[in-house]
Structure 1
């Protein structure tokens, strides 16, 4: 029986989510560079210092780190 493994499905889902997040960030930048008040990943407020340092931020620092680690992991895969 042929089919996608759980890893393959997770890899594809991760890539779709990354692309969606890039699109959201691109749209926010085009609309004036404003990011989100709340993290798109966990829903918690993005601290003011992060929003000041990265006005187009869509994720809190912790979720951004996780997303970048997943991206590197998938890129190596």
Structure 2
């Protein structure tokens, strides 16, 4: 149930759009091209199974795990809007 000028299902539309944006961003961050035989960070060999499973992989599993732990994931889009922004 939407109120005011919003149509029914507007909240779900916003959620769907946010999910679609996050999926598109994740896909754009996937490596592409030819996989490296050795890790860019530690020079250890990357197993053939990993190179086949992840096209364009450049890091071994351990280095990729460390990189992902250090990464900060943020969204640059605020679809909900704050009360302050609505009052201005």
Q: TM-score, normalised by structure 2?
A: 0.45
C-alpha deviation, 1:67, in angstroms: 0.4
C-alpha deviation, 1:57, in angstroms: 0.4
In 2, distance between residues paired with 1:61 and 1:47?
9
Unaligned runs of 5+ in 1: 1-21
In 2, distance between residues paired with 1:56 and 1:38?
12
Structure whose CA Rg is larger: 2
Q: CA RMSD in A?
A: 1.9
Runs (4+) of structure 1 exceeding 3 A deviation are none
Structure with the higher helix share, 1 or 2: 1
CA shift digits 1:43-72 (9 cap, x unpaired): 001001100100210000111000000113
Q: TM-score, normalised by structure 1?
A: 0.51
Q: Which has the higher contact order (CA 8 A, sep 6+)?
A: 1
Unaligned runs of 5+ in 2: 1-28, 75-88
